[in-house]
Structure 1
């Protein structure tokens, strides 16, 4: 018999969202078990870290390096929102292969498309399953999924799934609309966290013995300057394709596709060394990695990341703009500055000090259950 486990991912939950005095039930998980800060995988974007958490491995193993892809051989590029990009077994697949019941409840439809092929119970707020909604006694989700109400809806659905079916393993994740648009101390953010906390409290009451982990895929920081690096490089002799690993369809969260990491593909490989030196002259660049350095130091897969990986300084992000630069007041993620995320766990498999990255949750589960 497989152990009961629940993993809740609060998308974009920087630690400040848990410091506003409105999340007593979430903090109770930490009191019963432990609460600390750990690291996400880089770049600190959603798809990368769903894959990292669910497989218990870094991108160099599971091969998901962003929300978007570019194939330099064909010129094809697009959103990662289906099967075929993940190269490693998830904990959901692991449980299913052993006859255990699983649930994947998400706000964004793309998460279910990428990771939900073998789950027993699947639900997302974007492309609804009327039979599952009826089975759980739920109302239909809000029309716009990039709103706080969609998070409230999926958390209620997760609670009702646990109450009605008691699956062996459930992975539930929200959408980070609130974190992109509201500072932690705003009324909207506090209300969002208060509602999430309410449902987590009810889930905790259902089965105090269940293994429960609450974490995030990335943090969130305010940015005051956006840079369109492609437009800047188009004015130089360098022939490049700049890919934003954060780029996705949810423009309510980031209207300029703004994120603090970027992959640069040199179309003319003979220019790579000079391009690298040119990028070092920009004051908005915090760190630069060659492909080889990114593979070794960041544990990124070589093929999807181009020839150069760069991260911006704290208050800067890269985006798709009409001009080369734009002064803004936005909140986004993708860099090392949004890599710190909380973990709260009860009935965890290892002591507090063993958890350093969000992938450790499933890594330790896999190690124990494979014996």
Structure 2
């Protein structure tokens, strides 16, 4: 799906908004900035110098909470943007098995989201919103009913007002792409006081590349923290809500479950890695969980036993068990859900059923990447701290 940027020229908006902003302040909810820091597991926070987040932790609401399984971006981003679990909002991976086409497909169609997003709710309240993301799939899925949307890969990004101001967008496989996005967001917020909701989604490429203790990771997160401080300076009246979708871990091994089951005379229809997306360099489509679709229902026990015999497979859940445990939508998960241990992932391999992965390989998708921080800062009317017991609740209370 092609995605074009939405660009409200800032000078025009500022000029026309000045006369009405003060009159509407009393009636409108507080301006809100939501930041989804992709890949920002707690170890990344604790290993980095982030004084602005440290201050927000002390002065606001802070918690370390579970994220949503599977621990992949689309599942969690949509959960955060809707305030709902997958069994209601419908997104159970970055890809899904489409029963109509009988093929694996990337989740890029916004109609797959089954409930309103905060952007929809904001529009219903007369609130203008903006979405800034390093990933095109986020804009494809969530930008409906925003008045501003931007991603570096979106049609028109290289000719946009932001590109004129800050240069052409850097490549998606870089830490600089987040800096460019933050500059664009800051400029837009500064010049558009009538934007009531701003959602920013950064890149996890640095986390896929570097461990929490690596100096390059620390440098990236320190710089990101500086931008968060600038956001507060630019919009001191705004609530700032921050969380993440997943953490990252080094992985040692990958199984191709289709090949492994076939070799052991327990063939399956298809195995899907919920982590798989178009950003192949991040993780090669390999993740710590998998949905397995059976050829025949009677094969369940044999396939389950075969999967459990594989090194690194920690658990195999039936559809019913997976749906109940992780609040998933039954129609969009496999007959079985396979979970890896901390160092094992699943994906498609070219010529082998099993691969030992390089020392630098890092990925997510398992229960071991499901712990993330939540920050709620300067938020008037926010619920009590105990409300924020999962990442998806960080903005679930808005516009209700």
Q: CA deviation at 1:98?
A: 1.7
1:214-272 per-residue CA deviation (whole Å, 9 max, x = no partner) reads: 110111111111111111012223332100100011112013x1100100001212212
Q: 1:74 to 1:137 in 2, by over 3 A?
A: closer
Alignment of 1:352 with 2:385, yes or no, is yes
Instruction: Provide the rounded CA distance (Å) in 2 between the counterparts of 1:129 and 1:35.
Output: 38
Q: Which residue of 1 aligns with 2:367?
A: 336
Unmatched tracts of structure 1, length 5 or more: none
- Displacement of 1:283 in angstroms is 3.5
Q: For residues 132-190 of structure 1, what are the alpha-carbon distances to aligned partners after superposition, in whole Å with 9 as ceiling and x for unaligned?
A: 94168632443421210101111111111211113101110111110001111222211
Show structure 2 runs of 5+ residues with no match. 1-27
Verify the 8 A CA contact 2:269 2:294 in the aligned structure 1. Answer: yes
Q: CA deviation at 1:112?
A: 0.3
Helix, strand or coil for the counterpart of 1:41?
coil
SS in 2 for 1:138: helix
Structure 1 residue 116, shift from structure 2 partner: 0.3
- The question of 1:12 aligning with 2:39 is answered yes
TM-score (norm 2): 0.87
1:188 and 1:295 map into 2 onto residues whose CA distance is: 39
Alpha-carbon distance, 1:15 to partner: 1.4
Change in CA separation of 1:267 and 1:229 when aligned onto 2, cut-off 3 Å: same
Question: Counterpart of 2:338?
Answer: 310
Worse-matched range after superposition: 198-207 or 305-314: 198-207
- Which of 106, 109, 113 pairs up with 2:136? 109
Aligned residues of 1:43 and 1:334 also touching (Cα < 8 A)? yes
Normalised to the residue count of structure 1, the TM-score between the two structures is 0.94
CA distance in 1, matches of 2:137, 2:268: 32
CA contact (8 A) 1:136 1:161 kept: no
Number of aligned residues:
366
- Corresponding residue number in structure 2 for 1:239: 268
List, as ranges, runs of 4+ consecutive aligned residues in structure 1 with deviation greater than 3 Å: 128-133, 140-143
Partner residue in 2 for 1:296: 324
- Between structure 1 and structure 2, the one with the greater Rg is 2
Is residue 35 of structure 1 aligned with residue 62 of structure 2? yes
The 8 Å contact of residues 55 and 62 in structure 1, kept in 2 or not, is answered as: yes
RMSD, matched Cα: 1.8
2:181 aligned residue = 154
